[in-house]
Amino acid sequence: MAEHPDLKPIFPDDLTPVADKQYLFLTQFFGGPPLYTEKYGHPMMRARHMPFPVTPKRAEAWLGCMRRALEEVIPSQEMREVILERLSGPAHFFVNTPDDE
Protein backbone atom coordinates (compact mmCIF):
# COMPACT_ATOMS: atom_id res chain seq x y z
CA MET A 1 0.00 0.00 0.00
CA ALA A 2 2.88 2.34 0.73
CA GLU A 3 3.91 2.29 -2.93
CA HIS A 4 0.49 2.14 -4.59
CA PRO A 5 -0.15 5.50 -6.29
CA ASP A 6 -3.87 5.48 -5.43
CA LEU A 7 -3.41 4.47 -1.80
CA LYS A 8 -0.23 6.26 -0.77
CA PRO A 9 -1.97 9.66 -0.38
CA ILE A 10 -4.37 8.39 2.29
CA PHE A 11 -1.96 6.27 4.34
CA PRO A 12 0.77 7.47 6.70
CA ASP A 13 4.42 7.02 5.77
CA ASP A 14 4.85 4.59 8.65
CA LEU A 15 2.40 1.75 8.05
CA THR A 16 3.29 -0.06 11.28
CA PRO A 17 0.29 1.24 13.27
CA VAL A 18 -2.01 0.53 10.32
CA ALA A 19 -0.70 -3.02 10.01
CA ASP A 20 -1.08 -3.57 13.75
CA LYS A 21 -4.70 -2.40 13.72
CA GLN A 22 -5.43 -4.39 10.58
CA TYR A 23 -4.08 -7.53 12.23
CA LEU A 24 -6.31 -7.01 15.26
CA PHE A 25 -9.36 -6.26 13.15
CA LEU A 26 -8.90 -9.07 10.62
CA THR A 27 -8.36 -11.58 13.42
CA GLN A 28 -11.72 -10.56 14.83
CA PHE A 29 -13.42 -10.20 11.42
CA PHE A 30 -12.56 -13.77 10.48
CA GLY A 31 -13.89 -15.26 13.71
CA GLY A 32 -10.94 -15.06 16.06
CA PRO A 33 -10.89 -13.38 19.45
CA PRO A 34 -12.19 -9.78 19.58
CA LEU A 35 -8.71 -8.25 19.72
CA TYR A 36 -9.68 -5.02 17.98
CA THR A 37 -12.73 -4.43 20.17
CA GLU A 38 -10.76 -5.16 23.33
CA LYS A 39 -8.15 -2.54 22.45
CA TYR A 40 -10.13 0.13 20.56
CA GLY A 41 -13.81 -0.49 21.27
CA HIS A 42 -16.46 -1.31 18.68
CA PRO A 43 -14.87 -1.30 15.22
CA MET A 44 -17.35 1.14 13.59
CA MET A 45 -15.18 0.71 10.51
CA ARG A 46 -17.23 2.87 8.15
CA ALA A 47 -17.12 5.76 10.60
CA ARG A 48 -13.39 5.26 11.17
CA HIS A 49 -12.78 5.48 7.41
CA MET A 50 -14.94 8.60 6.86
CA PRO A 51 -12.08 11.10 7.35
CA PHE A 52 -10.32 9.57 4.34
CA PRO A 53 -11.48 9.90 0.72
CA VAL A 54 -12.19 6.25 -0.05
CA THR A 55 -13.15 5.97 -3.71
CA PRO A 56 -14.25 2.89 -5.68
CA LYS A 57 -10.81 2.93 -7.34
CA ARG A 58 -9.09 2.97 -3.95
CA ALA A 59 -11.30 0.14 -2.67
CA GLU A 60 -10.22 -1.97 -5.65
CA ALA A 61 -6.58 -0.94 -5.16
CA TRP A 62 -6.73 -2.05 -1.52
CA LEU A 63 -8.27 -5.37 -2.54
CA GLY A 64 -5.49 -5.76 -5.11
CA CYS A 65 -2.88 -5.25 -2.39
CA MET A 66 -4.65 -7.79 -0.20
CA ARG A 67 -4.76 -10.22 -3.14
CA ARG A 68 -1.00 -9.95 -3.63
CA ALA A 69 -0.35 -10.36 0.11
CA LEU A 70 -2.58 -13.44 0.24
CA GLU A 71 -0.74 -14.96 -2.74
CA GLU A 72 2.44 -14.76 -0.68
CA VAL A 73 1.08 -16.52 2.39
CA ILE A 74 -1.87 -18.73 1.41
CA PRO A 75 -1.16 -21.52 -1.08
CA SER A 76 -4.82 -22.40 -1.69
CA GLN A 77 -6.39 -20.39 -4.51
CA GLU A 78 -9.83 -21.38 -3.22
CA MET A 79 -9.05 -20.04 0.27
CA ARG A 80 -7.70 -16.78 -1.17
CA GLU A 81 -10.89 -16.32 -3.18
CA VAL A 82 -13.05 -16.89 -0.09
CA ILE A 83 -11.05 -14.34 1.89
CA LEU A 84 -11.14 -11.75 -0.90
CA GLU A 85 -14.87 -12.23 -1.36
CA ARG A 86 -15.37 -11.64 2.37
CA LEU A 87 -13.18 -8.50 2.25
CA SER A 88 -14.83 -7.13 -0.88
CA GLY A 89 -18.07 -6.19 0.87
CA PRO A 90 -16.49 -4.01 3.55
CA ALA A 91 -13.98 -2.52 1.11
CA HIS A 92 -16.82 -1.20 -1.03
CA PHE A 93 -18.97 -0.29 1.99
CA PHE A 94 -16.25 2.15 3.10
CA VAL A 95 -16.46 4.09 -0.19
CA ASN A 96 -17.43 7.64 0.65
CA THR A 97 -16.13 9.63 -2.31
CA PRO A 98 -16.72 9.19 -6.05
CA ASP A 99 -13.80 8.52 -8.37
CA ASP A 100 -12.42 11.61 -10.08
CA GLU A 101 -13.77 12.01 -13.56
In 3D space, the residue among 87, 90, 46, 44 whose CA is nearest the CA of residue 66 turns out to be 87
How many helices (H) and strands (E) the chain has is answered by: 5, 0
Does residue 27 lie within any of the structural domains?
yes
Work out whether the CA dihedral 34, 67, 9, 13 comes out positive or negative: positive
Global confidence as pTM: 0.92
Helix (H, G, I), strand (E, B) or coil at 100: coil
Please tell me the distance from the alpha carbon of residue 99 to that of residue 58, in angstroms, as a whole number. Answer: 9
Write out residues in the chain with pLDDT < 50, as ranges.
Answer: 101
The count of structural domains within the chain is 1
Phi, psi (deg, nearest 5) at residue 4: -75, 125
Q: Which CATH number covers residue 25?
A: 1.10.490.10
Q: What would the pLDDT profile of 30-50 be if each residue is shown by its tens digit?
A: 999 999 999 999 999 999 999
Write down the pLDDT at residue 100.
83
Write down the pLDDT at residue 59.
98
Residues spanned by the domain of 81: 8-93
